[in-house]
Structure formats: structure tokens, C-alpha cells
Amino acid sequence: MVRYFLFLLVLITILVVSIAGLRDYSFLPHKTKRPPIEIFPDMVRQDKVKAQAPSDFYDDGRGARANVAGTVPVGYSAPESSAQASEGVATMGSPYSVVVFSGKQDYADTGKIGTNWGNGIPFSATMATLERGRERYQIQCAVCHGATGAGNGIATKYGLVGVANLQQQRIRDMSDGEIYNTIVNGKNTMMGYGSVIQVPDRWAIVAYMRALQRSQNATINDVPTANRAALTGTNAASATTGAAKP
Amino acid sequence: MSNFFPRWANWLPLQLLVCGLVIGGPITLGIWYYFTPKYTRVGYQPDQPVPFSHALHVKQLGMDCRYCHSFVEVAGHSNLPATQTCINCHGQGKILPNSPRLAAVRDSWETGQPIPWVQIHRLPDYAYFNHAVHVNRGVSCYSCHGAVNEMSVVYEAESLSMKWCLDCHRAPENFLRPPSEIFNMNWHPASPEAQRELGTKFKEEWKVNPPVNCGGCHR
């Protein structure tokens, strides 16, 4: 009697473990498509709308609602103030405490002065601005335009054609406002990135793009006189030894 | 007076105790082992409406997390990308414009209805987690989401239980990273000692003082 009972116990244990698996997924994976079991979900799943979650309350089933015409963004601050604020905390994380977007119509938000494209960054660009621009450029732009802006990003290796080479004279001559507008609204096959890049970041990207354009077309006259000797010296040395310079 | 209880009754308490242990023990063990997020949540890997591969986009193409999850640094909620973010590259005349695997993306783009992505990492509604605070103070995506850059299909790698949260809130120096490596899924500390040394430095520099009281996360 006891023997049967113990036998049954061992059998059930083996059965449970072999069906349920071990919880250390790296040893015996139990990847599953079944949603996690929640035994008392009353407080765990509340009847409130969370970000990007669906809602049965509305006919279209969406929790997030589109803006009503004329909506003013909460907490919007002009690029000037956030650029100043960013200098103190540039070493760590995002310089913004709020999402910085605007529906305003001045130069900083549209890239236009009157009906023409304007030129210049609408706040004082510092090294921190350029570093921020580099970071944002590498996240959002380099995928197609490439790290140097030569229009050879990774997406072009997978069949994306018609990507602009940002080093072209046409784009070097383009005004800052028009480039800003291209970032926001797109152009030709490029779609607008205005919904994912905040206003000061757009200008930071424009500033960084200008730096890229200068860097790819630099001459010896752009090098500070103190450092020229070192550069020309290396060039002369490599020329005489025939070493390949990248 | 004759014996009121039969002789075998002497052993009854002991038998009951042993029986209880033999039956109750495995049941307790089973509940202890299985009724925990370490088992119920870890490994959850639902089918998504679009077979989007993080391994392809992040590891192979080298895209940044923030190309799609664009507001993770400024918002409590790490956003899913809008359908337009997919269409940026997969629109008509671009990359794989007619792939059947992208049918749901095209439908969404034409109708304006969102793609019904299945949420995997789901905290209880009474726990308030803020992505921006964590990624801006040295907690990498990797620490909570695992090696997403290796996942063709995303699954939940960590339990996200309260104990798991508190492990880090009580000793953040074991997890904090250099600010430049937050979104670098390939960065790993040289050794646990090196991590603790780095982490302690960042903890002091950035004044990281994670709440361990109830109100920190349950408001």
C-alpha cells in the first residue's frame, strides 16, 4: 500500500516536471506562447488607459486619442532655454525634462523667415550642441545617409535607392532652414522625422551636418597653425616611405 | 476499564504527520518552484502580427534602439514606433515593399489602424515604472530586457518580480553602466569587481539613490 503510494508520488512528480519544465530557461528552455498566468488579476489589470494601450471605451478601440485642432503642447519651451539648460547636464542622459515639440510658426519651429528659408541655428550652438547632434544623427540619419553623410548608410546595402549624399554641393549650398524643414517634413522618398526628433535636436542635427560637410572638405588651412607641422610632416614621411594612407 | 482506543491508534499522530509531510511537502515545493514570475513570466514569447527581428535590425544592421523607441529617454513609457517608422524604409519602392511578412504594416499604413503588437513585458498596473529615469541614470536596456539584439523573436528574459526590482534598487552599483554604453547591447563589464568599482563611482557621481520604500513604485 505504501509502496504504491510512493510510486504514484514519484510518477506524478516526474510527470509535472516533464510537462512544466524547469524555470531556468537557459538550461531547459520553456519558451511559451501562452500568456503568463495571473491568478487574481483584479488589481493587477485595472480599468484604466495606459500609454499606447487599446480601450474598449472608444469606437475605434484606441486608447490614445488624436489631438484636437489647435492643441497646444504642454510644457513646451523655446529651443533657447533648453539649449542653455542642456549645457549643465550634457554629460548624462537626455537634456530635456519634457518632450520638446511645438506648433508655433517662428523660425526656430519652421525654418522659415517670412516666406523664405532662413539661415543659421536659432540658438547659440556649443560643443555640447554638436555632440548632441552627432548622437541624434547617428541614431536617426546614419541608417540611410551613412556616418559621414555620403549617402551610403546600411539601408542602401539592402536596396534603398535615391538616398541623398549630404556632401553634395547642392546640399552644402542649401540653407539651414530648408535642411531643418527636410528633417521635419521629408523630401522626395524620405519621410518626415518631425514626429520623432524634438525641435532643439533637429537644429543640433543641422549643426552637426554642417560640421560633417566641413570635415569632408577640409584643407590644411582649416588646421590650427600650431598643429600643421605635425600633419604635413606625417604626410611627407608617408609619401617617402610609400605607406598607404587611408 | 478496557482500552478505549485500539492499539494502532498509538501510531496515528505520527502516521498523520508523515503522511502530511509526504503529500504536503511536494505540493509546497511545487508551488514554491512554479508559482513565481521566474517561471510564469520568463520565456513568454508570443507570436507578433509582424515577424520583426531585433536580431536582424539591431545586430546585423547596427540600428540604435532609439530609432524606433524614440522617446525612451524623455518619457516614462518606452514607445512602440508608429507605423511610419517601418514605412520609412519599407514603403513602396523601398526595401521589401511587397513582402508578405510586412502585410500587417502595409495594412496599418493604408487604413490608419495600429498594428496589434502583443505586449510582453507587462508590470502590474499598480507598479509605476519610468523608463526615462532609468536609462538617464545608467540602467541599460540589457539589464531588464536581456540580449534583445540576439532575439529573432522577443521573449521575456527577466522575471520583473518585485524582489528582482529591489535587488537592483538596494545595490545599483552592480548594474550601473557608463552613460555612453546604455544603448550598447554588446557592452559587458570586464568582471564583477570592475562592475562594482564602476557602479560605485557612477552611483556617487550621479547621486543615484533608488527608492526602496513602497511609495517609490506604488503610488
**What does the angle CA A68 – CA A69 – CA A72 come to, to the nearest 5 degrees?**
85
d(CA A91, CA A94) in angstroms, rounded, equals: 9
Which of A:10-49 have CB within 8 Å of B?
12-13, 16, 20, 23, 25, 29-37, 43-46, 48
Kindly tell me if the per-residue pLDDT of A80 is higher than 50.
no
Q: What is the CATH number of domain A127-217?
A: 1.10.760.10
Domain boundaries, chain A: 127-217
d(CA A209, CA A130) in angstroms, rounded, equals: 9
pLDDT digits (tens, 9 = 90+) for A152-207: 999 999 989 989 999 999 999 999 999 999 999 999 999 999 889 988 899 999 99
Q: Does A3 touch chain B (CB under 8 A)?
A: no
According to DSSP, the β-strands at A186-187 and A190-191 are antiparallel
Backbone angles phi, psi at A95, to 5 degrees: -75, -5
Chain B interface, best mutation among A3, A8, A23, by max B CB count within 10 A: A23
Where is A181: in which H helix or E strand? helix A176-185
Kindly tell me if the per-residue pLDDT of A77 is higher than 70.
no
Backbone angles phi, psi at A19, to 5 degrees: -80, -45
Q: How confident is the model at residue A81 (pLDDT cuts 50, 70, 90)?
A: very low
Q: What ipTM score was computed for the predicted complex, to two decimals? A: 0.87
Domain boundaries, chain B: 13-40, 72-80+121-216
**What pTM was estimated for this model as a whole?**
0.84
Closest chain A C-alpha to B5 CA, distance in angstroms: 24
Kindly tell me if the per-residue pLDDT of A246 is higher than 60.
no
Show the cell assigned to B56. Answer: 536582424
Please name the residue that has the C-alpha cell 509582424: B50
